[in-house]
Structure 1
């Protein structure tokens, strides 16, 4: 009988485990919750099968649950489509050093969340692995991981909600620890994005930053979400909360997140009066808050909850249907908000 591993709705966990469990010993049934079983994994599975991995679909073709019988495939050259998730690529990269032939990973021309692939490469190099990433090809020879003492930086994606809080509250200022100017995280670009919304970032010694509302916002913001999809909810909420017109592109892969994240945000912001339209492949979000109360739905998505919460500073009250959804990535989110004395939660 296979050992059952339930990843719930953690896409990173399921995708990384798919590659990890494929090589080695054992039989596994890798599954997730209802939403996870609708999130595609075929690109990764096909690549692993091409390498010799023994993986099959337990229910629907292309989606979890997965039957995995571990084996000792040797590696070599493989092609993978990275248009839906960079995690497919990172999953392959991390097992490459233990394969007899290593891996040569060829990518298609359209790559989403490429900074996450570069972050994987940077960490692997730090841990003693030779990684060559150029011209849509990644070459990783067989090697041995050498793990030094390493301090994990705080999460810039989670910091985006505090940028949102500052953007929505004039003269506000927040200090955050363990974030660095030379970060390898792609979402560190939040610093530049929120400059347009009147928020400045000051880097202090020992990995502290101070974010402060210092100026007025632009009237219109253009944002390409191809590289940083996790910033989209906080940017959408911040723009709408400040009456800034948002022109959003590069959002196609948001439908594969914990929820159909773009449509989830559109639906919830509309409860406060947000309007949207499409001009070709550009989503145009505009309008100002006209409703002072709203009952928000999270769709089981932690980022939806955390991006909607700061809007209570622009309304009389809001409710969020599943406050515990934030436990996935930021368990202390609600207590941190209360400690700011900016928002009131009951």
Structure 2
């Protein structure tokens, strides 16, 4: 499905309920599989979370998690300790191009039995679950925090717990801290100090319900809308000021565009206020790379040059997001320079018309570009890809006066 998107309304308002965080939900599902006494509320309705749930409930030998990268990493560790279980873990074509070698090597050093079915270092992988006795592991920390979180989540179920030694600069530290806080909320003891993470063994956990906060990455598209609009007032639920999610930095970053955030008991109010916007935006997004696409498109819409760094993990996402951003932004007439770690936008004052944005099987490409409909009508191809993290995205945009015309051409 493709969509033509436009919106002539420059003064926006509405109340939007956003699904639970995919990141929190997926961590809690792994914990719940290990400790069934845990209950989860406000679970994400994203495709990724549904695929993870289905995998955890399946007794089949072949487990297909499609495009769900988090599920691939977390389940690799989970099945490695599932004694007596043998599975082949696979996914979409893009998933078979996304590396898992660092995580597999770490698990093998702990005694895990994992073999590559096709290409060395990549899914599909065959995992024979067994008891792992080794209580120490070393892991490079500058590739993906999901590898680290995968080990942290199985650590309390190990007889001796786990000490994880990190090598190099740590990428996406907030996601590691999120995993640690979720473990602590469930009743697991753990520590993260410098380059060392220690998770203590935990035989059982008390009955407890853990609520998932709504997804801050999904909120980013409404921050972008507010920034681009003449005036805006959005109430988004359910959010809290002491968020575990690194993308909550949105509140501070978008202040520069005149978007102010008021925290209420279970919601946030976004208001666009008159004021200056940055002459040039410079941000290091090492701890929140998932908002890079949103920020780049916001700057494109506002004719604001930007220089975003800390983006090396975007090369191994659903697509190479840096190359994809360059390709699609330049269709509108602006210039983009990318390196392995950065993106620089040199915007044009005029927008090209009749542009078709490709999404590359990447949900964030579709959603990040959508707010640009406030400036120029254009088409987004394969728009249903949003279901990976935000199935109700297009319906929520319709509530804000967006004209969404679906087609299959």
TM-score between the two structures when normalised by the length of structure 1:
0.96
Match of 2:211 in 1: 151
Q: Report the alpha carbon displacement of residue 282 of structure 1 after superposing the two structures with TM.
A: 4.5
How many Å separate the matches in 2 of 1:185 and 1:139? 21
Matched, 1:138 2:194: no
Q: CA deviation at 1:146?
A: 3.5
Q: Distance in 1 between matches of 2:243 and 2:119?
A: 39
The equivalent of 1:336 in structure 2 is 396
- Give the match's secondary structure for 1:43: helix
Aligned equivalent of 1:120: 179
Aligned to 1:44: 103
Judging changes above 3 Å, is the alpha-carbon distance between structure 1 residues 320 and 88 closer, same or farther for their aligned structure 2 residues?
A: same
Q: Is the 8 A contact 1:167 1:199 kept in 2?
A: yes
Aligned to 2:92: 33
Q: Deviations over 1:24-46 (max 9, x none)?
A: 22110000111011111111000
Matches within 5 A, 1:77-92: 77-92=136-151
Q: How far apart, CA to CA, are the structure 1 residues paired with 2:257 and 2:314?
A: 23
Q: Is the 8 A contact 1:2 1:27 kept in 2?
A: no
> Does structure 2 conserve the Cα–Cα contact (< 8 Å) formed by 1:223 and 1:247?
yes
Q: Tell me the equivalent position of 2:37.
A: none
Matches within 5 A, 1:266-277: 266-277=326-337
The answer for the alignment partner of 2:292 in structure 1 is: 232
The CA deviation string for residues 125-155 of structure 1, in whole angstroms up to 9 with x for no partner, is 0111111100110011211333521221100
Determine the structure 1 residue equivalent to 2:129: 70
Distance in 1 (CA, whole Å) between partners of 2:369 and 2:133 is 47
The answer to whether the Cα contact below 8 Å between 1:127 and 1:147 also exists between their aligned partners in 2 is no
CA distance in 2, matches of 1:311, 1:278: 21
1:16 is aligned to 74
Q: Cα offset for 1:2?
A: 7.2
- Contact 1:84-1:256 at 8 Å conserved across structures: no
Q: What does 1:168-179 correspond to in 2, within 5 Å?
A: 168-179=228-239
By how many angstroms is 1:278 displaced? 5.5
Match of 2:371 among 310, 330, 335: 310
Counterpart mapping for 1:105-116 below 5 A: 105-116=164-175
So what's the TM-score if we normalise by structure 2?
0.81
Closer, same or farther: CA 280–140 of 1 in aligned 2, 3 Å: closer
Q: Which has the higher contact order (CA 8 A, sep 6+)?
A: 2
Match in the other structure for 1:284: 344
| Residues 167, 194 of structure 1: 8 Å contact kept | yes
Structure 1: which 5+ runs fail to align? none
